[in-house]
Amino acid sequence: MQDLKNFTKAEAERLGFCLCGFTGAAAPADFERYLLWLEKEPLGTMGYLKRPDTVAKRADPHLLLPGAQSICVLGIQMGLQKAGIPEVASYAHYVDYHDAILPMAEALIQRMQACLQEHQEYSAYTNLNYRICIDSSPILERSLGVQAGLGWIGKSSMLVNPTYGSALFLCEILLSLPIEPDKPYTGDGCGSCMRCINACPNHCIDPETRTIRADHCASYLTIEHKGEFTPEQSELAGTHLFGCDACLRACPWNSKNTGKSPLPPAPVLPDMQDYAISDEDFKIKYKNTAVLRTKARGLRRNIEAVRRNLSDKPGNNSETEIV
């Protein structure tokens, strides 16, 4: 399978993936770290992460694809955008990455299947079964990335690659093929650096466990949190309209980020003018973008929090400055 492995890596690069590695279909080596995070840190409204079936799937990829023998872990460069007020996370500057990456992964599978059919030595594996996972599946993608040799888990909890940094979209393909795994990444390029910890606006990062206190994270609050904000949550949202890139921008491994990505740009970005947008208009305006995740009521909530936080800043006395 070495020839197929090399072929797959070359084809992944041609399709626009900057990273490609393989690991076995077993529980990630640091699964216990994930369990400790679930037990220790408040999860806000993401209690579903503790569901027994969800935890079991993260522990055993075979529950996602029976008969899985290997996992292909892929990475795509995300272009970091300059900070703005209000803040819109860099990944929202592209079309919904789930929709954009899926056809790329499907194309890679098709090329692998063609390779299997062309070579007699692979005849036993032409009936290929697979499952593509892009962020929304219960799988520990960053940990699998380490096992596939793509990088290390940084203090910010992100997967960091020494060439492409931590501004990455990740994708995994579970395969019914016994492809030889790559060597796990054993280095740690964080050293004594504390830039991401110091940059986090809400002091969410635990550098010892390399995990995040989710319920205080501006990304969680403005994207994943369900319901209205308490006064404390509204303050923690700061000037973040949708997501937060503070730890990404602070990381020195992202200093060479070009601000570009192979993914298509989003046709529109959220702005403060959406404070009264209807649910229907929201769905139309943000179709095929990541902003749909927060729903119209979430975006309206975020806008109100940003307006309040900006008006509380010294020198911001004019309503026209914050709309």
Q: What is the average pLDDT across 312-318?
A: 60
Examine residue 127 and state whether it is found in any structural domain, yes or no: yes
Which residue numbers are catalytic?
135
Examine residue 191 and state whether it is found in any structural domain, yes or no: no
Examine residue 83 and state whether it is found in any structural domain, yes or no: no
Total structural domains in the chain?
2
Same domain, 113 and 262: no
User: CA 24 to CA 175: how far, in whole Å?
Assistant: 10
Q: Would the CA dihedral through 196, 198, 199, 205 be positive or negative? A: positive
Same domain, 220 and 162: no
pLDDT tens-place string over residues 231-274: 999 999 999 999 999 999 999 999 999 999 999 999 999 999 99
Same domain, 115 and 168: yes
**In this predicted structure, what is the pLDDT of residue 318?**
39
Examine residue 85 and state whether it is found in any structural domain, yes or no: no
Q: Would the CA dihedral through 107, 149, 134, 234 be positive or negative? A: negative
In percent, the amount of the chain with pLDDT more than 70 equals: 97
Exposure string (b/e) for 67-102, b if CB count within 10 Å is 16 or more? ebbbbbbbbbbbbbbeeeebbbbbbbbbbbbbebbe
**In this predicted structure, what is the pLDDT of residue 315?**
61
User: CA 297 to CA 303: how far, in whole Å?
Assistant: 10
Examine residue 198 and state whether it is found in any structural domain, yes or no: no
- As given in the structure block, the two tokens for residue 66 are 């029976």
Q: Give the domain extent around 17.
A: 2-78+93-175
pLDDT reading at 319 higher than 70: no
Same domain, 162 and 272: no
**In this predicted structure, what is the pLDDT of residue 312?**
77
178 confidence band (pLDDT: 50, 70, 90)? very high
Mean pLDDT of the chain: 94
pLDDT tens-place string over residues 93-128: 999 999 999 999 999 999 999 999 988 888 888 889
pLDDT reading at 322 higher than 70: no
Give the C-alpha distances (Å, rounded to integers) separating 297 from 87, 92, 284, 323.
18, 18, 15, 18
SS (H, E, C) the chain: CHHHHHHHHHHHHHHCCCEEEEEECCCCCCHHHHHHHHHHCCCCCCHHHHCHHHHHHHHCHHHCCCCCCEEEEEEEECCCCCCCCCEECHHHHEECHHHHHHHHHHHHHHHHHHHHHHCHHHHHHCCCCEEEECCCCCCCHHHHHHHCCCCEECCCCCEEECCCECCEEEEEEEECCCCCCCCCCCCCCCCCCCHHHHHCCCCCEECCCCEECHHHCHHHHHHHCCCCCCHHHHHHHCCEEECCCHHHHHCHHHCCCCCCCCCCECCCCCCHHHHHCCHHHHHHHCCCEHHHHHHHHHHHHHHHHHHHHHHCCCCCCCHHHHC
Q: What is the average pLDDT across 216-243?
A: 97
**In this predicted structure, what is the pLDDT of residue 151?**
98
Given 160, 175, 190, the domain boundary residue is 175
**In this predicted structure, what is the pLDDT of residue 321?**
41
Same domain, 22 and 149: yes
Examine residue 260 and state whether it is found in any structural domain, yes or no: yes
Examine residue 322 and state whether it is found in any structural domain, yes or no: no
**In this predicted structure, what is the pLDDT of residue 246?**
97
pLDDT tens-place string over residues 43-56: 999 999 999 999 99
Same domain, 154 and 36: yes
pLDDT reading at 1 higher than 70: no
Same domain, 162 and 227: no
